[in-house]
Amino acid sequence: MSDINIRKTGQTGRITFTRPKALNAMSYEMCIAIEDALDAWETDPEVKMLVIDAEGEKAFCAGGDIAELYETGKAGNFAFGQKFWADEYRMNAKMFEFSKPVAAFMQGFTMGGGVGVGCHGSHRVVGDSSQIAMPECGIGLVPDVGGSYILAHAPGRLGEYLGLTAARLGAGDAIHAGFADYYIPEADWPALIAKLEETGNWSLIDAAAQHINPGPIAESGAEIDAFFGGEALADVVNALKASDSDFAAKTLKTLNRNSPLAMGCTLEIVHRVRAASDIRAALEQEYRFTYRAMEHGDFLEGIRAQIIDKDRNPQWQHSLDSLPAVAVSQMLMPLGDAKLTFEKGE
């Protein structure tokens, strides 16, 4: 496949995104190819570890390829998206649970679907260009691909803040928030990857890592904890409105652009997942939302406004000040027979 290069090199299983002009956006076919590789390499004695990287300087993987999701959803075909997400989440779980070390080298943008590949490994490497984010609320979705698990286990209320605002994490903040493990200058990556291929010795990553301080988002931790500690979206909004700080004003402006329904559900999912000890619980909660996202959520309108018409003027179902609690509950109710099962080939 021209969009992704999957092969065995030396002691490693190698996955390289090769769509730099599309910011390495991940298609359904790429997702399935990654899962097939994970299945093959799990028991392959020649594969000591996985190494995942991407071509181009701008992005490791800037997200999922959502044009096809939009076209099928607008045509009333919700089943395509439901299958897409179910299959993608199954791959995300396998990446998280893979029994061998998984190293990901994430330059530039790593967002959405890219987080589901790069941020579930054991050795997650960032550099000076890295920008990691979960921007789903801006298109009427919730942070998914297992991203809610990372958000729920971030320090304090940082997960709530990142999920609702889509704030971008530089290298230091990405490590602080739990989306990455190691800072290594990007100029050192090619030689390190070559050594990993040759030896399969993942401890070389520890040896190459350098110290980096947390960034500006970590420095705002006290404010984030104060404003994002509420149970529901209204609690967060009211806390921000009651403050005259620059941080509160800037954050409110950001929230006003995003889908209130998606933000309300994101808060609830992060709260539920905080008690979970494995990624599958997070993926199951996310799937409850994405299963319903086209028919009952703001997803199609969000894509229209941001990607299709590009008018940046989405007409959300609810306002920031009047999101009914029942709307959140309805999006996150159990799915019954449609529940995410993680079974392949359904």
H, E, C per residue of 135-157:
CHHHHCCCCCCCHHHHHHCCCCC
Strand-pairing partners, residue 104, are 52, 124
**Which residue carries 């959140």 as its tokens?**
328
Look up 337 and say whether it is catalytic: no
Catalytic residue among 144, 160, 173, 181: 144
- Name the CATH superfamily for 4-338: 2-enoyl-CoA Hydratase; Chain A, domain 1 (3.90.226.10)
Residue 304 CA to residue 326 CA, distance in Å, equals: 26
Q: What are the pLDDT digits (tens) for 226-266? A: 999 999 999 999 999 999 999 999 999 999 999 999 999 99
Q: What are the pLDDT digits (tens) for 190-233? A: 999 999 999 999 999 999 999 999 999 999 999 999 999 999 99
Look up 10 and say whether it is catalytic: no
Catalytic residue among 108, 112, 113, 215: 113
Look up 113 and say whether it is catalytic: yes
At 297, list the tokens.
């959520």
Sign of CA dihedral 128, 24, 180, 200: negative
Listed in sequence order, the residues at least 6 apart from 52 whose beta carbon sits closer than 8 Å to its beta carbon are 14, 15, 16, 102, 103, 104, 105, 117, 118, 121
Catalytic residue among 13, 35, 63, 64: 64
How confident is residue 302, by pLDDT bands cut at 50, 70 and 90?
Answer: very high
Q: Mind giving me the DSSP string for 193-246? A: HHHHHHH--THHHHHH-B-----HHHHTHHHHHHHS-SSSHHHHHHHHHT---H
Look up 3 and say whether it is catalytic: no
pTM of this prediction? 0.97
Q: What are the pLDDT digits (tens) for 153-201? A: 999 999 999 999 999 999 999 999 999 999 999 999 999 999 999 999 9
Catalytic residue among 35, 53, 65, 136: 136
